[in-house]
Amino acid sequence: MDFGFTPEQEALRRDVQAFIAENLTPEVLAEMDGLSEGFGVRPGRARGGHVEKLFAKIGARGWLGISYPKEYGGRDGDRISQYIVEEEFARADIAVGLGGSGGPAILAAGTEEQKRHFVPKLISGEYSFALGFTEPHAGADLASLQCRAVRDGDEYVINGQKMYTSAAHVATHMYLMARTNPNVPKHRGISIFLFPMDTPGVTVRPLWTIQNDPRAPIGTTYGTPRTNETFFDDVRIPASALLGRENEGWKVGAMGLNLDRVGAARYLISVRRDEDIVNFTKSTRFDGYSPAQDPAIRDKIAELWIEAQVCRLMTMRSMSIVEHGGNFTYEGSAEKVWAPEHGVRTTEAIAQMLGPYGQLLNGSPAAVERGVFAHNLMGSFQSGINHGSVQVMHDQVARRGLDMPRS
């Protein structure tokens, strides 16, 4: 066991911190605020001139895709270094982390051509994926999905509907899970396809969430103002769009999803909130009342801080396993139980500390921190629902971690 960082990793952290201090000018921040979509501003999505330049600079430093292989645009670096970059930028509302459904899945299952085509551009931000998993009648039981892909010569023809394709309006490509064989047990007839969002027959319709009116301010860490439903009507894509082998998409998808739902990506959602609650409390007074001196609040803040440490350490565990080249047995699912439930406890506790101020939304007179706490309260429970619900994750911990029987 080693709970420290190497001198090189510490130096990298200081470099990133110095970069942020130097480059997050008021003009950049003003532009970022208008671009907020939840989870911070990402490369490769709607961006203005200042943010675009900022991402180009970050890329020039070599900080995107550190842990990816050199031949595909990465730096052959370690996962912890990549994490340090992601963590420091997350504190500045800039999301530089790359999910598992994308680069890692393509590296694990893609053809050489797919790797060369996609991975460098995913790292640079030129490409990004919308994830097409959930359907109107397939959520927790994802493998029962109905969206069809039928082989026709050198093409597949896609028909169906996906729900909660959150990035569909800004992504360049679709990462689609579809049924290629309806005549076998449900897990064995699924495939994954990668294709451009502007392929004819793809229609994206917005679904506005409870965080859209008023729009959640930048700094909101949970949830998103907008998601989408995406329709596929006779969408014809080349057979080369298939990722991995036909009908073996469940395994590829599960691997990518596991990496989406654990590790840095999961933890970084809450890291700012966990720090903010302490820093906000210690610096805030309401007339003569100082929450930091309230014994009940002090006890609760310490309790949440301990929970946050457990989130951090579970993330370090996930990355340690990845660094050793291992696979999660239950650790990823455990993290996906603990972190979302902690997020809910945190946001609900802040609400009880703020009392009536906790209800004020972005733009309201007297709102604290632009209403970010109220907006988070509308989003934190969502992280216990998306990417595999806390209840499903509990099942997985029991069955994979403790070998408990199926009912």
Partner 1 sequence: MDTTLTEEEAMIRQSARRFLEAECNTRLVREMEKDPKGYPPELWRKAAELGWQGLALPEAYGGSDMPLVYLGLVLEEVGRALAPLPLHSTVVAALTLAAEGTEAQRAAVLPRTAAGETVLTFACYEQDPRLTLSGVQARAVADGDSFVLNGIKRFVDNFAAADFCLVACRTADATPGSDGLSLLLVDTRSEGISDNPLVTLAKDRQSEVTFRNVRVPKTNLVGTLHQAAPAIERMLDRATALLCAQMLGAARKDMEMAVEWAKYRKAFGQPIGAFQSLQHMAADMLIWIDGGNLLTYEALWKMDQGLPAAVEVSQAKAFCNEKCEAVVRYGQIIHGGIGFMQEFDLQLWFRRVTSWTMRFGTAYEHRARIARALLDVPGRVVLGQPLPTAG
Interface with partner 1, residue 398, by CB under 8 A? yes
The CB-side HSE value for 222 (13 A sphere, CA atoms) comes to 31
**Which region, judged by CB under 8 A, interacts with partner 1, from 36-44, 107-115, 234-242, 390-398?**
390-398
Q: What dihedral angle (degrees, nearest 10) is formed by the CA atoms of 260, 98, 148, 200?
A: 150
**Residue choice 25, 144, 279, 329 for contact with partner 1 (CB under 8 A):** 279
| Nearest distance, CB of residue 16 and partner 1, angstroms | 13
Q: What residues from 280 to 299 belong to the interface with partner 1 (CB under 8 A)?
A: 281-282, 292, 298-299
Residues of this chain, 196-215, that bind partner 1 according to CB under 8 A: none
> What residues from 309 to 338 belong to the interface with partner 1 (CB under 8 A)?
309-310, 312-314, 316-317, 319-321, 323-324, 330-331, 334, 337-338
Q: How many CB atoms lie within 10 A of CB 10?
A: 12
Q: What are phi and psi of 125, to 5 degrees?
A: 95, 0
Asked if residue 2 binds partner 1 (CB under 8 A), the reply is yes
Cβ atoms < 10 Å from Cβ of 235: 23
Task: Verify binding: residue 301, partner 1, rule CB under 8 A.
Answer: yes
| CB of residue 53 to partner 1, shortest distance in Å | 27
Task: Give phi and psi for 194, each to the nearest 5.
Answer: -120, 120
The CA-atom distances, in angstroms, between 34 and each of 27, 127, 280, 363 are 11, 21, 24, 14
Minimum distance from residue 399 beta carbon to partner 1 (Å) = 7
Q: What is the dihedral of CA 91, 92, 96, 101, to 10 degrees?
A: 60
x/- mask, partner 1, residues 256-275, rule CB under 8 A, reads: ---------------x--xx
Using CB under 8 A as the binding rule, whether residue 302 contacts partner 1 is answered as yes
> Based on CB atoms, which residue is closest to partner 1, 108 or 398?
398
Burial letters 385-394, b for 16+ CB under 10 A, else e: ebbbbbebbe
Q: Collapsing DSSP states into helix, strand and coil, what is residue 30? A: helix
Contact assessment for residue 102 and residue 175, using Cβ atoms and an 8 Å cutoff: yes
Phi-psi region of 89 (alpha: psi -120 to 50; beta: other; left: phi over 0): alpha
CA distance 233 to 219: 37
Binding to partner 1 (CB under 8 A) within 82-111 occurs at 87
Shortest distance (Å) from residue 406 CB to partner 1:
6
CA distances to 99, 186, 245, 392 from 141, in Å = 22, 10, 22, 9
**Whose Cβ is closer to partner 1: residue 27's or residue 141's?**
141
Q: Does 80 bind partner 1 (CB under 8 A)?
A: yes
Count of residues engaged in binding partner 1, rule: CB under 8 A: 54
The site string for partner 1 over 3-32 (x = CB under 8 A, - otherwise) reads: xxx---x-----------------------
CB of 9 to partner 1, least distance (A): 8
Residues that bind partner 1 (CB under 8 A): 1-5, 9, 80, 87, 271, 274-275, 278-279, 281-282, 292, 298-299, 301-303, 305-306, 308-310, 312-314, 316-317, 319-321, 323-324, 330-331, 334, 337-338, 391, 394-395, 397-399, 401-407
